[in-house]
Amino acid sequence: MIVGLVIACEVAFWALLAAGLAFRYLLRMPRTGLALLLCEPLLEVVLFTVTAIDLKNGAEPDWRHGLAAVYIGFTVGLGHATIKWVDARVAHRFAGGPPPVKPPKYGMARAVHEWRTAGRWILASAVAIALLQAAIWYVGSDGGTGSLRAWQLRMVWLIGINVVIAAGYTLFPKRAPAEDRESAKLP
């Protein structure tokens, strides 16, 4: 049941996003579009509530409950950036908005971009770890919480990977090709 609800929440996320942007740009009803976009967090509230009720009713905590916590964490950490990314592209394509800004390719500007991206992933992982820990405390020490702890370890690994990637761009910044550096010097 939990896995089906996670899938339903993911489908509903994209359906609400599409509907919100359609109302905003195609139907020229920005307030209705915004209202639909603001319904996105309700999906996580429903998933959180159903998962808590499932555990309260004596369900053995397993990977499904961990998946629900990770999904909520990722939506908190990455949902807003995803909505902004899609919104910029739809606004450009259907409403005459400016072209989406591309991330920088070189130097410290790229490193800053990578740290921002890592920050979103770290936030997502931290929220998931906190929800998993809350579930562990909720179930108690007599419940089988090994799978929830395994999810926590995966989130710690994800944090580490993102820090290594961002640090790599900081310590070893990619340089622009020579012709780009020469053209940047010209007035």
Q: Please, what is the end-to-end C-alpha distance for the chain in angstroms?
A: 63
User: Residue 22: what pLDDT?
Assistant: 94
User: Residue 187: what pLDDT?
Assistant: 56
Which one-letter amino acid corresponds to residue 63?
W
Mean pLDDT per 10-residue section of the chain, whose length is 187 residues: 90 95 93 93 92 87 92 95 95 93 93 97 97 90 83 97 97 82 56
Using an 8 Å Cβ cutoff, are 122 and 162 in contact? yes
User: Residue 175: what pLDDT?
Assistant: 86
User: Residue 2: what pLDDT?
Assistant: 86
| Predicted model pTM | 0.88
User: Residue 117: what pLDDT?
Assistant: 97
d(CA 105, CA 175): 9
HEC-encoded secondary structure of 105-128: CCHHHHHHHHHHHHHHHHHHHHHH
- The alpha carbon of 27 is separated from its chain's Cα centroid by a whole number of angstroms, namely 28
Q: What angle do CA 26, 28, 30 make, to 5 degrees?
A: 110
Give the phi and the psi of residue 4 in degrees, each rounded to 5: -60, -40
User: Residue 182: what pLDDT?
Assistant: 58
The residues, ordered by sequence, that sit 6+ positions from 129 with a Cβ below 8 Å of its Cβ are 73, 152, 155, 156
